[in-house]
Structure 1
Amino acid sequence: MSAVSLLICDDSSLARKQLLRALPADWPLDISQANGGREALEKIREGDIDVLLLDLTMPDVDGYQVLAALREEKLSCQVVVISADIQVEAVRRVLELGALAFIRKPADPAYLQQTLAGLGIAGGEVPVLQHRGTGAIPFRDAFREVVNVAMGRAAALLARVLGVFVQLPIPNVNILEVGELHMALADAAQGDKLSAVCQGYIGGGIAGEALLIFHDSEIADMARLMRADDYLELEMLLDLSSLLISACLSGIADQIDVVFSQGHPQVLGQHASIDELISVNRQRWKNTLAVEISYSLEGHDIHFDLLLLFTEDSVELLNRKLAYLMN
């Protein structure tokens, strides 16, 4: 049996590694990798790519654009989308654009193998007897992919509640001191007045605070989406924050095998500037592992920023939890 040429396209080195490990070494596959949509299209245009395993959320050319280009240019390639964006609308769109199947991240190896075999792409009932060779993954890359999966689950819940399509970003993961955090928040605010809700969490020795930042100019539109005419603006912000923060933390906890206990959401500042928010919390945010996720709602001028601020002591524990993914 001749080898099937298979291309893995994902900007996450961890996601590519997980897919490599999920493909049985006994299968006759000629595997190559691309770390973004532009590189994937270049490889496909060169010819000889039979199968593409495609992520959706990527910084240069995203998965939707890759699928559209394949159709427009009539490029022959079978596509299976593997993504953390599990919104019903996301699945509908990629299948409409020509993908043969959709698999949620992190891909279950058995399900991936069954999907490929069912499509006649490769293999059959072949066990994973050994992993294909993969290198070590840096902590920041590994944790970013864990957050990416959690972010997608939270977006799917938000989409159902609001009846919208949530546009997902590439999450930012950085170690920040308070001055750098100030600059990151100021950039997110872009001069607007803000309202922010904070919720603490702890589990397995890992602790931190989640901070959800709303732009005051968009809160009225958000209230209309949530049909919140019959209750207070503050209650709406607390309800939305609790939903989004809980879903995101639950997605992270599931992947690193911990259970987070969460405090009650509290208003950190309302109709305040970034300078005021920072000054109130300067002591708590001296040095932190900061995760930034900027959600926006398609068809609406609404976006909000979720920050997960892990304590400095949590980084080593997270490293240990992610060791099995990184090595």
Structure 2
Amino acid sequence: MARKQLIRALPLDWPVHITQATNGEEALQAIRQGQGQVVLLDLTMPVMDGYQVLSRLRAERLPARVIVVSGDVQEEAQRRVHELGALAFIHKPADPDELRETLISLGLLHPAPSTSPVSGIPLRSDPDLRVNFRDALREVSNVAMGRAGALLARVLGVFVQLPVPNVNLFEVSELHMALADTQRGERLSAVCQGFIGESIAGEALLLFHDAENAEVARLLGRQPGSDSDEAEMLLDLGSILIGACLAGIAEQIDVRFSQGHPQLLGQHTCVERLFRLNNRRWRKTLAVEISYTIEDHNLHFDLLLLFTETSIARLTQKIHYLMD
């Protein structure tokens, strides 16, 4: 999805041959073979991320000119990639006009005068990339995740490490078991918030690990207090992360979500107890799972966006419209 959007944003009068890579390791192999004079590089990728690619390019002194195109819009992320040698940073999804101006400013695109006919430039058709619904929703979630992560980074004064989101269709009981397995009996607190818009509805569930809450309070400049003080802190963070992530998704698929007030679903309990407290009214759920990890702190937040099974048809329509 990201590569398809980016190729469509490239100037049609830019006479280049395009090589694609699905992760950083593939990208390095192509660059070593001379197929990456100019590299449009994502940051959040499997196998090898964009930071690692930039480090290897510098270590191997490979002659690649890199423009980072990423959903991770933290100020620190932008500082780091420039320090590693990137020439520019563009937010995803890439705006064609911004991409064009960036290429011109870097001397990578030399447009013909408007009075001169453009000749000798091969026409470039849309990429024949097969993008399934799950991959497309993962990319939409990736962009939204980055915006929420940037807001969290500013609030806590930290750098947030972002994963590749997981997207799966679960029986609710299967989701329960998967969560119970990953949490391994940890004591948790959780904030939930409902949302609905244009026949798309669901709940966002943000899990906090009790052993880490004192560190969260310290980063916020608060003293660890009573359960009610802690609950207020968790609700504040839930509002930040959930609200920003839902807003990012809504903007991309052109939907306006109405959101309920964030509520404390449970405090100092286990996953099994949380699911008993929140007995959902549907059997299946489309789950987007994002785990935010705070660098240099033993701290992470698990965000689940749970769409009702009746939402899938409308969400699929919206995603396919975005892909086309």
Shorter-normalised TM range: over 0.9
Q: Contact conserved, 1:22 with 1:131, CA < 8 A, in 2?
A: no
Q: 1:112 pairs with 99, 109, 133, which one?
A: 99
Over residues 11-34 of structure 1, what are the superposed CA-to-partner deviations in whole Å (9 max), with x where a residue is unaligned? xxx010011111133321110100
Q: Contact conserved, 1:114 with 1:124, CA < 8 A, in 2?
A: no
Q: Which residue of 2 aligns with 1:44?
A: 31
Q: Which residue of 2 aligns with 1:89?
A: 76
Q: Contact conserved, 2:224 with 2:230, CA < 8 A, in 1?
A: no
Over residues 80-105 of structure 1, what are the superposed CA-to-partner deviations in whole Å (9 max), with x where a residue is unaligned? 00000000000000000000000000
Over residues 290-309 of structure 1, what are the superposed CA-to-partner deviations in whole Å (9 max), with x where a residue is unaligned? 01000010111000100000
Q: Contact conserved, 2:188 with 2:207, CA < 8 A, in 1?
A: yes
Q: How do residues 30-69 of structure 1 correspond to structure 2 at under 5 angstroms?
A: 30-69=17-56
Q: Which residue of 2 aligns with 1:187?
A: 181
Q: Which amino acid aligns with 1:239?
A: D
> How many residues in Structure 1 have an aligned counterpart in Structure 2?
313
Q: Which residue of 2 aligns with 1:3?
A: none
Q: Which residue of 1 aligns with 2:216?
A: 222
Identity within the alignment, %: 63
Over residues 253-311 of structure 1, what are the superposed CA-to-partner deviations in whole Å (9 max), with x where a residue is unaligned? 11111111111111111111111112233443520010100001011100010000001
Q: With structure 2 as the length reference, what TM-score do the two structures score? A: 0.92
Q: Which residue of 2 aligns with 1:155?
A: 149
CA distance in 2, matches of 1:42, 1:136: 23
Q: Which residue of 1 aligns with 2:253?
A: 256
Structure 1, unmatched stretches of 5+, are 1-13
Q: Which amino acid aligns with 2:68?
A: V
The offset of 1:130, in angstroms, is 6.9
Q: How do residues 126-141 of structure 1 correspond to structure 2 at under 5 angstroms?
A: 131-141=125-135
Q: Contact conserved, 1:25 with 1:132, CA < 8 A, in 2?
A: no
Structure 2, unmatched stretches of 5+, are none
CA distance in 1, matches of 2:53, 2:161: 17
Q: With structure 1 as the length reference, what TM-score do the two structures score? A: 0.92
Q: Which residue of 2 aligns with 1:7?
A: none
CA distance in 2, matches of 1:77, 1:114: 19
Q: Which amino acid aligns with 2:230?
A: E
Q: Contact conserved, 2:19 with 2:36, CA < 8 A, in 1?
A: no
Q: Contact conserved, 1:20 with 1:134, CA < 8 A, in 2?
A: no
Give the CA RMSD over aligned residues: 1.7
Residue 227 (structure 2) pairs with residue 242 (structure 1):
no
Q: Which residue of 2 aligns with 1:317?
A: 314
Q: Contact conserved, 2:282 with 2:309, CA < 8 A, in 1?
A: no
Over residues 123-172 of structure 1, what are the superposed CA-to-partner deviations in whole Å (9 max), with x where a residue is unaligned? 42789x97533334211111111110000000001111110000001100
Q: Which residue of 2 aligns with 1:11?
A: none
CA distance in 2, matches of 1:100, 1:302: 32
Q: CA distance change for structure 1 residues 286 and 228 in 2, over 3 Å: closer, same or farther?
A: farther
Q: 1:274 pairs with 271, 275, 280, which one?
A: 271
SS in 1 for 2:19: strand
Q: Contact conserved, 1:37 with 1:63, CA < 8 A, in 2?
A: yes
Q: Contact conserved, 2:253 with 2:322, CA < 8 A, in 1?
A: no
Farther off after superposition, 280-289 or 296-305: 280-289
